[in-house]
Amino acid sequence: MFEGITAGLATAMAWQNLIYVIIGCFAGTFIGMLPGLGPMSAIALMIPVTYGFDPASGMILLAGVYYGAIFGGSTSSILINAPGVAGTVATSFDGYPLARKGQAGKALALAAYASFSGGTIAAIFLLLAAPMLAQVSLSFQSPDYFALMVLGLTAVAAFAGKGNVLKAIMMAILGLMLSTIGTDQSSGIQRFTFGKMDLIDGIDFLLLAMATFALAEALMSVFRPDKGGPSSDQLSNMGSLKLSKQEVKEVAPTVARSSILGFFTGVLPGAGATIASFLAYGMERNLASAKEKLGFGKGSLKGLAGPETANNAACTGSFVPLLTLGIPGSGTTAILLGALISYGVQPGPRLFVEQPEVFWSVIISMYLGNLVLLILNLPLIPYIAKLLNMPKQILTPLVLFFSLTGVYLISFNTFDIQMMVLFAVAALVLKLMSFPMAPMILGFILGGMMEDNLRRSLMISDGSLSFLWERPITLAIISIAVVVLLVPAIQAFRKKPEAVEATA
Amino acid sequence: MKNTMNATRVGALLFLILALVYGYNAYQIPLQPWSMDEPFTSRTLPIFLSVIGSIVALLMLILPDNDAQSPAECFSGPGWKVTIALLVLMSLFGVALKPLGFLVSTTLFLLGGYWLLGERRIKVLFLASVPVAVGLWFLLSRILGIYLAPGELFI
């Protein structure tokens, strides 16, 4: 294990990888700041840049983009109350009021420190937890993997929020359906290609991710423009970036609590940064004294530090299932998994054994990414924020253009561009009906692996579904999946009568 | 139930149709003769997905959903014309790439995009498009050595 760590350290510290972390963080911060574009779009937009890199460098850059995008989202939440990312919505509750009071600088600094601490503490947890989990998962067999993927998909659906569970399940199924297009890997039979040569290799994951995230999100901002952009006044008048000792003391316990909460929420399949940040906000408000409670929503430092810490810790936590099991727990990690696969790396327990330098260098550069955000990004925020003043009529066509060419320059097939337009239209329509996109991309990425493991399981058990309960691990995972799925349903039924009473 | 045909139901109905069409096509997947009796074939997962998908879509159609908006509310946005125009422009970009080549089609796409979104200053229109296209073309073809085929019209 220590050899792996030293190899990873050497890789992560190589000068070009250090530069990639920095580039990734900056690019991520910038893209994440643009209202409407979240980390998934940011990562998708940056993937074409990383083709041709070795896997470790590619992942290092993308991990930087991920952190940068979350931080960029926090920045726009605080400055202009327009969270670019769902994970930073909770940040705007107290961050924006602080900015309104002329303490934007303090809010940003606190966000950066909180993110840094959350990321650091979670990186230590990751360092300890990932190898252990990788060891355990070496004993996993096909039925267990199949069960885990079912759990991943149901969990994403279950956490989609009230009223959206069915929609999320539908989107996950849609993703699985899309993944069956192309040549069946095991039999060589073409499925759903309708005789089209362009579909024989199936749909490229980057194409789908780019069309349903970057394109759809950019078009959405045209379809329903936000009211009023940032005023240059807000961007230039940030106030001091310093925190007093008293304030640091005040938020320290919050940061500690939220890191732990965030990390474990991130590890859970389906949860992730958004839920972690809301949970942390809720926790802090519940723990606060009656007097402090009044401050929440009006610029409470604790209310800002909690979600900021938790969302970064959750980002780190979400790498645990990705790296150890090869199963992404969220839309963002699904896109990262797609990138890894296209580099020719198959994440999972064997990654830890066979390519420890990839495994460890990603973990170590996550830590470096946090450091870069704190040391380089924070002081530069006022300048990066100026870029938000770039007119939208220039920015949007550029985003569209880079999405299209990012995909085109890999395949040199103009059919891909038309397919992207088609997917963008579909995604836009689905978005308008508030169908979530993340379960779709997760289903799409997991589709191939799920079919593989299902086939092996069914072959072993000779066509009987008994593989689902024969092994205790499989049974346990499947049971959790069922519970996760049923809880929101039961809650919905329970709530109905109360709601009726309330209106009566 | 006042809004029987809300946006969620429209989505569910579309999805039901999709799942059924998908299921029909799944039965059309050719199988190798020897794999007919195997427990798992190329059809297994698609058929399963079609069944589950139909059930979920039906559930969604049946279950009450009070929060949903009407389709009209859902699909209205001040920028719908521009959005459609941008989609058409993107598609045209794909059509133009082969005959016009990377440089010209990129410049035209960016010009068109800026113009559609309301940029009318000639100077800005050209300064934000031509240098981007030329710079990117230079980076890709001269520095990274990626072969970008010249427009077929110009050969």
How much is the ipTM here? Answer: 0.92
For residue B128, give the nearest of A394, A405, A455 by CB distance.
Answer: A394
Contacts of B119 in chain A (CB under 8 A): 391, 393-394
C-beta of residue A287 within 8 angstroms of C-beta of residue A302: no
Which chain A residues have a beta carbon less than 8 Å from that of B109? Answer: 397, 401
Residue of B nearest to A176 (CA): B49
Rounded distance, CA A26 to CA A377, Å?
Answer: 7
State the pLDDT confidence band at A419, using cuts at 50, 70 and 90: very high
Q: Which residue has better confidence, A58 or B73?
A: A58
What is the bridge-based pairing of β-strands A182-183 and A190-191? Answer: antiparallel
pLDDT of the residue at A234: 55
Listed residue (A94, A71, A92, A97) closest to A81, CA to CA: A92
d(CA A20, CA A24): 6
Chain A closest-CA separation from residue B113 CA (Å): 5
Q: How far apart are CA A247 and CA A107, in angstroms?
A: 12
First to last CA, chain B: 65
CB pairs under 8 A between A and B: 168
In angstroms, the CA A372 to CA A284 distance is 28
Q: Residue B58 above 90 pLDDT? A: yes
Picking from B46, B65, B75, the nearest residue to A191 by CB comes out as B46
**In the prediction, which pLDDT does B1 show?**
44
Quote the radius of gyration of chain A (alpha carbons, Å).
22
Round the average pLDDT of chain A to a whole number and report it: 83
Which of chain B's residues have a Cβ under 8 Å away from the Cβ of A407?
A: none
| pLDDT of amino acid A401 | 93
CB-based contact (8 Å) between B12 and chain A? yes
Across the interface, do A224 and B77 touch by the CB < 8 Å criterion? Answer: yes
Measured CA to CA, the distance from residue A69 to residue A29 in angstroms comes to: 5
Task: Report the range of poorest mean pLDDT among A140-149, A487-496, B10-19, B31-40.
Answer: A487-496
A350 pLDDT band, cuts 50/70/90, is confident
pLDDT at A229 over 60: no
- What residues contact A152, with CB distance under 8 A and at least 6 apart? A269, A270, A321, A327, A328, A329, A442, A446
Q: What is the 3-state secondary structure (H, E, C) of A112-158?
A: HHHHHHHHHHHHHHHHHHHHHHHHHHCCCCHHHHHHHHHHHHHHHHH
Is the CB of residue B4 less than 8 Å away from at least one CB of chain A? no
Is pLDDT of A289 > 90?
A: no
- Chain B positions touching A396 (Cβ under 8 A) are 86, 113, 117
For residue A183, report the phi and psi dihedrals to the nearest 5 degrees.
Answer: -85, 130
SS3 content of chain A, % helix, strand, coil (to 5): 80, 0, 20
| Cα–Cα distances in angstroms (integers) from residue A112 to residues A39, A43, A65, A70, A100, in the given order | 17, 21, 15, 11, 18
Helix (H, G, I), strand (E, B) or coil at A182: strand
Q: CB of B16 within 8 Å of any CB in chain A?
A: no
What's the rounded Cα separation, in Å, for the pair A458 and B115?
A: 57
Q: Is the dihedral of CA A494, A499, A504, B4 positive or negative?
A: negative
d(CA B30, CA B21): 16
What gap in Å lies between CA A432 and CA A223, rounded to an integer?
10
> Per-residue confidence at A174, pLDDT binned at 50, 70, 90?
very high
Do B40 and A417 count as a contact with CB atoms less than 8 A apart? no
If we measure between CA atoms, which residue out of A313, A275, A301 comes closest to residue A116? A313
Q: Is B80 on the interface with A (CB under 8 A)?
A: yes
The helix/strand/coil state of A190 is strand
Is B134 an 8 Å CB contact of chain A? no
Instruction: Please state the domain extents for chain A.
Output: 2-224+238-503
The C-alpha of A488 sits at a distance from chain B's nearest C-alpha, in angstroms, of 14
- A395/A133 Cα distance (integer angstroms): 43
Highest mean pLDDT among A167-171, A329-333, B109-113, B117-121: B109-113
Sorted by where each begins, the domain ranges of chain B are: 7-74, 80-154
Interchain CB distance below 8 Å, A187 and B128: no
pLDDT at A227 over 60: no
What is the average pLDDT across A130-156? 84
H-helix or E-strand spanning residue A373: none
pLDDT of A492? 65
Give the pLDDT score at B41.
84
Contacts of B25 in chain A (CB under 8 A): 192
For residues A81 and A71, what is the distance between their CA atoms, to the nearest angstrom?
A: 14
pLDDT band for position A421 (cuts 50, 70, 90): very high
H/E stretch holding A204? none
Residue B59 near chain A (CB below 8 Å): yes
> Is A177 in Cβ contact with B22 (below 8 Å)?
yes
Q: Is A426 on the interface with B (CB under 8 A)?
A: no
